[in-house]
Structure 1
Amino acid sequence: MTEFRSPDQEMQRFRRRVVVALLFILSCFAVLAGRFYYLQVVRHEYFHTRAEDNRIALLPVVPNRGTIADRNGKLLARNYAAYTLEINPSQVRRLDETIDALSAIIDIQPRDRTRFRKILEESRNFESVPIRTRLTDEEVARFVAERYRFPGVEVQARLFRDYPLGAVASHMIGYIGRINDRDLQRIEERGETANYRGTDHIGKSGLELSYEAELHGTTGFEQVEVNAGGRAVRLLDRQAALPGNDLELTLDIELQQVAERAFGDRRGALVAIEPNTGGVLALVSMPTFDPNLFVDGISTKDWQGLNDSPDLPLLNRAIYSAYPPGSTFKPFMALAGLAAGKRTIEQRVPDPGYFVYGGHRFMDHKARGTVDLHESIVVSSNTYYYQLANDLGIDGIASFMRQFGFGERSGIDVPGEAEGVLPSPEWKRERFRKPEQQRWYGGETISVGIGQGYNAYTPLQLANAMAIMVNGGRVFRPHVVRHVVNPRDGTRRAVESEPIRQIPLNPKHVAAVRRAMVEVNKTGTGARAFAGAPYEVGGKTGTAQVFSLRGQRYEEGKVAERLRDHSLFVAFAPAEAPTIALAVLVENGGFGSQSAAPIARQVIDFHLLGRKQDDPAPEDAAGAESQ
């Protein structure tokens, strides 16, 4: 018998199903509505910001780097705009194939590939890396026509640093280079990460390094609306970058060029200072190098050529290399003897051509009977200063010389300055480990008195000490920058040129030493170099041993070139009111009158007369000063 379902029961069952389905649908809508409310109301600000970030890109605007000019406005470091072909490694799958394809459109040399690989190793993966710089307009046009083939490759307009005089004054000016990991760490430590966004280069040496904070400027930004492909649609807002400050130097670049030419192919250094301000007029280290090589990343070949050269062109000899001062130390020893009361200006002392101490005979090159202070400087008597050193003692010498900046950094605004060595018992105890090496011996004091022994000073220290002597004992901090100039409003901030301390020198003592130094260039060891000069100039020649002769006679022609004595000369001019004090060192140049003094003559001629004299004939070695 067939069972029939009740219509009422079926209807009730259907209605229950409809209610359940309706409740399920309503629940889903409730969940969606809740989710919509959460996203649109509760998290509105968050997602609005995210959406804006996707729509708006914040791009850094790199500031113009400040320029560097000499005291007469001659530009030594400047900027210029050029196009660069850059690859973003994170957006390029087959890097080598892409570069090969690009080379069919734009000339890419092996050195460009080598530099690209080197920069790529130092860069973060999301940064664009230049494969070619300084593109011509024609090269830019060829690439733009086929840009669609190269995703991740762009042509960018960049500012480049340029040093128009090339190798001139390069050790002082320095150079910039691409930012590496060490630079990034220093930037982060200073809390300047935001200010270096978009910046690829930073000062690496010289003034470019020491004045980086002034030269860099302040980074700006642009708010740009972008499409889904990341391309700019329109500019929404812009905060302009503030250019870096310009540097105006105390340096006279023409004087610098005269000095560098005077050295020729010889190694050495020259520092010239304004005695009344501490401003550096010339700072020469030879040989030199072209800083433009470093701007785009120096090639391996160029780097090896500089780094492996036996002449060490990257070494700043003017402020870093320390040398025995030789007889240029004697004018300061004379002042020390007068100040300590160990000598008087007129006092004559025996000069038999040697001095005996502890059974050892310290030799001079000539016996003179007796000499006074004036003659001791003019003829460069070693015996006079052997005796004086013994009378003063090492502590007396060290305490007096320290006042002139010997053995300590001057604080010049060019980085890399060395302390030098002002010998003393305390220095020796710190320098050596073994007790027998730490002991100070009296015989060592005798050698210190003539600028030998442990004495070692930079050309900067010698020039600065000479400037202090001739300005009456006022100690300035040597500086190369005279003004920091704001390019926006032209305001100039002077670098401090007030004396930092005063040495209590007796004017009569200083005058006596200065008279003797003037006579050096009239009838003494510097006479040949300054023959016919239409001005009076004070000076002192010096010769510094490179190695010990061990009692043998020095014969220059029989000694290897790099083992010959160093040639030194210190000077001031004009004698009555000095406007320049300088120190010259020629490595392995022999007697001071032979190499260093003629260079000083050319520099002083140009400084006082505005012209360059021909090199005087070198003085015969037989008439030169003692070591």
Structure 2
Amino acid sequence: MFKRKKTDPELFIKAPQTDLLISPGPGRSGRLKRFFSSRFSIIFICILLIFAVMLGGTASLQLQAAQISQENNTTTVSRQYEEVADRGDIYDSEGRLLATTVKKNMLYYADADLTDDELNAVLLKLAELLDYYEIDYGHAIDDYLDLSSMKFAMSQDAMIYWQENSNYLGLKALPDGKTESATDTLYVKETPQVFYNYLCQTKFGISDQYNELERKKILRLRFEIYLNNWLFQQGTPVEIAEDLPDSLVTILNEQNYIYQGVVTTKESVRQYSEDAQFLAPVIGYVGQITSDEYKTLSSQGYGVNDTVGKAGIEAVAERYLHGTNGLSNYNIWTSDEDQGEFYTETDNQAAVAGGSVKLTINMDIQKAGTYKMAQMIDYLNNDDEFTDFPKSTGSAVMLDLKNDGAVLAMINLPTYDPQAFIDMDTDEEAEAQVENYLSDDDGLPMINRAIQTSKAPGSTFKVFTALAILSNGVADASSTVNCTGTYLVDGMTFDCLGKHGIVQLDKAIAYSCNTYFYTYGSALGIDRLWPTLKDLGLGEKTGIELYGETAGYRPSRDLKASLYKDPSNQLWYAADTVQTSIGQGLNSYTAVQLARAVGAIATGYLTDVHVIDEITASDGSVLQKADGEPTAIDYDESDLEPIRAGMLRMTTDPESTAYSTFVDASYLSAGKTGTADTVLDGYGMTNDGIYICYAPYDDPQVAIAAWIETGARGAYISELARVMFDTYFGDTDYSDFGITQLPGVSAEAYSPTNAD
């Protein structure tokens, strides 16, 4: 802004003109000679000089007085406010925007050193202007006093306690026998009407010249300012309204000598794209900094009103996304209306925007898989057998095996809409959504199931058991077992899903023969199985950048001993090995662990799982770039190849359960189905469906692990993998499968009582 200069006519004082009447006489030179030779003339000249000095002094005093008067009446308050830096953007792998920062017009009010009468007059003008533009303002008082019904908005005891708080009114308890009064400045007001009158008449000096509606408008704004009075008096403007239209901002700025104390700014606000809800547990959300967070981050330049990441990438990459706040001048007019002047903003310190994060996620695959999973869950939720159970949930992960485990998709249902956390202060529906997200103990939409929930892998685990069997020489690819449908160990009978007859490894995998793995798993033993699981990263955190990853459980003698108090239950039995070998028992892994492990079976390498591809500063410089390297697993190809062949047979043998899913696919994939029995407390026995796979078979590029809880089977989950593969290979554009709203996004609780 530039200084506006004015020309005041009073600053130019004209000297008085005097007509001297001189009689005609000698010529000019003679008259002058005679004049200066006269004694009276000399005296006259001296008098004129004295008069001139006196006149000059008077004019000088008038000039100085005018200047002093102007300076006193036009002093402008010039302060600085913190300019919040734009938060960095978040993109998917193709550069599609998922989270950004937008600017919205904000209205603040700063201390202009006005009297109560002056301030109330200005605030009424401001309130009426805001009403004309239908802008919400001044709702702070609604938490204390309902101005419509004239009732306290909280209990009387709570209201009295607040009035006694020294940080606010600091009033004393009303003595017994003393009548409360609106004009009394010492004692609490126990009734709403007296409290209202006290605020208007005594606290804020709102004149009786205003009608009742005008008084309430003024009170709303005065109370908003009063709740922030300490900061207000220190020069920090108080927020009055947000989302002002540009036309209103123009009026306030052009007529700011009328609206003294008004400050308009543009504030950075987080905004999530509609696609963000497909990836919410990965992206996360932001919120206002808490006191504990401020204690930690204040030394890094954070302010008390800053926004910080609360979950997901928003939290993980906080130090990159946040940026550096700046300082900007603001100027307000005093009570002398348009006699003020603006100061040039030479002392501003520009804010530096945060860095941008590019994810490895491909939103086409993410959305295709999410829509398909939502369709499948909807079907299961309407299954009569499970309508009394909690609604189904699910997760799926696709890893890029050619790019060291870059996460191409990480699906979680139910999910949530991160935009609700931005809108909840001004939108009741968004507030209800957030309340449900945080309280839904059945659906748990806020968690990232793919890394935070571990489950029994069911029969998908058999491929890992197979690697331990082959690598330890317990059996080879041609070794056979005669499956009669049952298996006895320690006097206990364990069932197979069928009577498969003579089976070897590839058939055992394709037909999911329990008997084969009971037999060779028992011969292997838990002590030789455990190291293979460790080599495949099962039961260990992958190291993905996201917070909250769980390691799950990898079965062992020590683990069992640590889980049970009864010494007899702490011992490891042969039956435990039998259960473990088919993916039950103490096996518990996350979807991301299973995807990584099946990728290792496919390639012989354990990938460095990551979801952040690159972080760049606002100037374009690269701050971080994914550069991990896969780690070779120490297993012979002769042991890995028979397992791959069995997984291929799972998708190509007409007798296998995944055949119908992939019969017409343009690529060859290898997979393994699994169905894990699960007991839900208070509901009974159900089952989870799991599927792990990779493609193409002869040149593995991607690996998938997916499951759906409550009522699903592994073969059913293979349909989800087919959709994700097809989208990856470009065989089809993704479909929404008729899904109009993702599970968990609405404000409706994700629980049995709300089942369709």
TM-score (norm 2): 0.65
- 1:572–1:255 distance in 2 versus 1, CA, 3 Å: same
- Aligned residue identity for 2:131: A
- Alpha-carbon shift at residue 572 of structure 1 (Å): 0.4
- In structure 1, what is the Cα distance between the partners aligned to 2:331 and 2:127? 34
Q: For residue 271 of structure 2, what is the aligned residue in structure 1? A: 162
Listed as ranges, the gaps of 5+ residues in structure 2 are 1-75, 145-223, 378-392, 738-756
Q: For residue 361 of structure 2, what is the aligned residue in structure 1? A: 251
- In structure 1, what is the Cα distance between the partners aligned to 2:364 and 2:652? 28
- Alpha-carbon shift at residue 528 of structure 1 (Å): 1.2
- In structure 1, what is the Cα distance between the partners aligned to 2:141 and 2:519? 63
Q: Does 1:579 align with 2:706?
A: no
Q: For residue 183 of structure 1, what is the aligned residue in structure 2? A: 293
- In structure 2, what is the Cα distance between the partners aligned to 1:598 and 1:151? 66
Q: For residue 74 of structure 1, what is the aligned residue in structure 2? A: 96
Given that 2:693 and 2:705 are in contact with CA atoms closer than 8 Å, whether structure 1 keeps it comes out as yes
- Aligned residue identity for 2:639: H
- Aligned residue identity for 1:513: I
- In structure 1, what is the Cα distance between the partners aligned to 2:463 and 2:272? 40
Given that 1:178 and 1:297 are in contact with CA atoms closer than 8 Å, whether structure 2 keeps it comes out as no
- In structure 2, what is the Cα distance between the partners aligned to 1:61 and 1:484? 23
- Alpha-carbon shift at residue 386 of structure 1 (Å): 1.5
- 1:197–1:384 distance in 2 versus 1, CA, 3 Å: same
- Aligned residue identity for 2:545: D
Q: For residue 269 of structure 1, what is the aligned residue in structure 2? A: 395
- In structure 2, what is the Cα distance between the partners aligned to 1:313 and 1:112? 31
- 1:262–1:548 distance in 2 versus 1, CA, 3 Å: closer
- In structure 2, what is the Cα distance between the partners aligned to 1:504 and 1:531? 34
- Alpha-carbon shift at residue 603 of structure 1 (Å): 0.7
Given that 2:670 and 2:695 are in contact with CA atoms closer than 8 Å, whether structure 1 keeps it comes out as yes
- 1:392-422 deviations in whole A, cap 9, x for unaligned? 2222222210121111111111222111111
Given that 1:275 and 1:470 are in contact with CA atoms closer than 8 Å, whether structure 2 keeps it comes out as no
Q: For residue 306 of structure 2, what is the aligned residue in structure 1? A: 200
- Aligned residue identity for 1:180: T
Aligned counterparts, 1:400-439, within 5 A: 400-439=532-571
- 1:468–1:106 distance in 2 versus 1, CA, 3 Å: farther
Q: For residue 596 of structure 2, what is the aligned residue in structure 1? A: 464
- In structure 1, what is the Cα distance between the partners aligned to 2:465 and 2:534? 12
Aligned counterparts, 1:35-434, within 5 A: 57=79, 59-86=81-108, 104-105=131-132, 107=134, 126=231, 130=239, 132-140=241-249, 154-164=263-273, 165-188=275-298, 191-192=299-300, 194=301, 196-197=302-303, 200-222=306-328, 233-264=343-374, 266=377, 267-276=393-402, 277-297=404-424, 300-309=431-440, 310-434=442-566
- 1:125–1:454 distance in 2 versus 1, CA, 3 Å: farther
Secondary structure in structure 2 of the residue aligned to 1:319: helix
- Aligned residue identity for 2:688: H
- Aligned residue identity for 2:597: A
- 1:148–1:460 distance in 2 versus 1, CA, 3 Å: farther
- In structure 1, what is the Cα distance between the partners aligned to 2:77 and 2:127? 35
- 1:181-223 deviations in whole A, cap 9, x for unaligned? 12213314xx31x2x2376211111111101111112333457
- In structure 2, what is the Cα distance between the partners aligned to 1:292 and 1:116? 25
Given that 1:563 and 1:588 are in contact with CA atoms closer than 8 Å, whether structure 2 keeps it comes out as no
- Alpha-carbon shift at residue 370 of structure 1 (Å): 2.3
- 1:147–1:306 distance in 2 versus 1, CA, 3 Å: farther
Q: Does 1:481 align with 2:612?
A: yes
Q: For residue 513 of structure 1, what is the aligned residue in structure 2? A: 643
- In structure 2, what is the Cα distance between the partners aligned to 1:114 and 1:337? 72
Aligned counterparts, 1:471-550, within 5 A: 471-472=603-604, 474-491=605-622, 493-499=624-630, 501-523=631-653, 524-547=656-679
- Aligned residue identity for 1:136: P
Given that 1:409 and 1:418 are in contact with CA atoms closer than 8 Å, whether structure 2 keeps it comes out as yes
- Alpha-carbon shift at residue 371 of structure 1 (Å): 1.3
Tell me which moved more, 176-185 or 323-332: 176-185
Given that 1:336 and 1:400 are in contact with CA atoms closer than 8 Å, whether structure 2 keeps it comes out as yes
- In structure 2, what is the Cα distance between the partners aligned to 1:322 and 1:111? 48
- Alpha-carbon shift at residue 502 of structure 1 (Å): 2.6
Q: Does 1:603 align with 2:724?
A: yes
- 1:566–1:86 distance in 2 versus 1, CA, 3 Å: farther
- In structure 1, what is the Cα distance between the partners aligned to 2:137 and 2:326? 36
Given that 1:224 and 1:237 are in contact with CA atoms closer than 8 Å, whether structure 2 keeps it comes out as no
Q: For residue 554 of structure 1, what is the aligned residue in structure 2? A: none
TM-score (norm 1): 0.78
- Alpha-carbon shift at residue 332 of structure 1 (Å): 0.9
- 1:124–1:463 distance in 2 versus 1, CA, 3 Å: farther
Work out which of the two has the higher radius of gyration on C-alpha atoms and give 1 or 2. Answer: 2
- 1:469–1:124 distance in 2 versus 1, CA, 3 Å: farther
Secondary structure in structure 2 of the residue aligned to 1:453: coil
Given that 1:544 and 1:567 are in contact with CA atoms closer than 8 Å, whether structure 2 keeps it comes out as yes
Listed as ranges, the gaps of 5+ residues in structure 1 are 1-53, 550-558, 617-627
- Alpha-carbon shift at residue 424 of structure 1 (Å): 1.5
- Alpha-carbon shift at residue 147 of structure 1 (Å): 7.0
Secondary structure in structure 1 of the residue aligned to 2:729: helix
- In structure 1, what is the Cα distance between the partners aligned to 2:143 and 2:469? 62
- Aligned residue identity for 1:406: L
- 1:239–1:307 distance in 2 versus 1, CA, 3 Å: closer
Q: Would you say how many aligned residue pairs link Structure 1 and Structure 2? A: 544
Tell me which moved more, 486-495 or 137-146: 137-146
- Aligned residue identity for 1:273: L
- 1:223–1:305 distance in 2 versus 1, CA, 3 Å: closer
Given that 1:222 and 1:236 are in contact with CA atoms closer than 8 Å, whether structure 2 keeps it comes out as no
- 1:304–1:469 distance in 2 versus 1, CA, 3 Å: same
- In structure 1, what is the Cα distance between the partners aligned to 2:400 and 2:711? 26
- 1:160-187 deviations in whole A, cap 9, x for unaligned? 1111124121111111111111221331
- 1:96-150 deviations in whole A, cap 9, x for unaligned? x999878635545699769999x99x99963766564332224445666887898
Tell me which moved more, 322-331 or 287-296: 287-296
- Alpha-carbon shift at residue 591 of structure 1 (Å): 1.4
- Alpha-carbon shift at residue 592 of structure 1 (Å): 1.0
- Aligned residue identity for 2:715: S
- Alpha-carbon shift at residue 489 of structure 1 (Å): 3.6
- In structure 2, what is the Cα distance between the partners aligned to 1:379 and 1:284? 28
- Aligned-pair identity (%): 28
- 1:578–1:100 distance in 2 versus 1, CA, 3 Å: same
Secondary structure in structure 1 of the residue aligned to 2:524: helix
- 1:436–1:489 distance in 2 versus 1, CA, 3 Å: same
- Alpha-carbon shift at residue 469 of structure 1 (Å): 1.9
Root-mean-square deviation (CA), in Å? 3.8
Given that 2:78 and 2:343 are in contact with CA atoms closer than 8 Å, whether structure 1 keeps it comes out as no
Q: For residue 552 of structure 1, what is the aligned residue in structure 2? A: none
- Alpha-carbon shift at residue 470 of structure 1 (Å): 1.4
- Aligned residue identity for 1:608: F
Secondary structure in structure 2 of the residue aligned to 1:529: helix
Secondary structure in structure 1 of the residue aligned to 2:433: helix
- Alpha-carbon shift at residue 84 of structure 1 (Å): 2.4
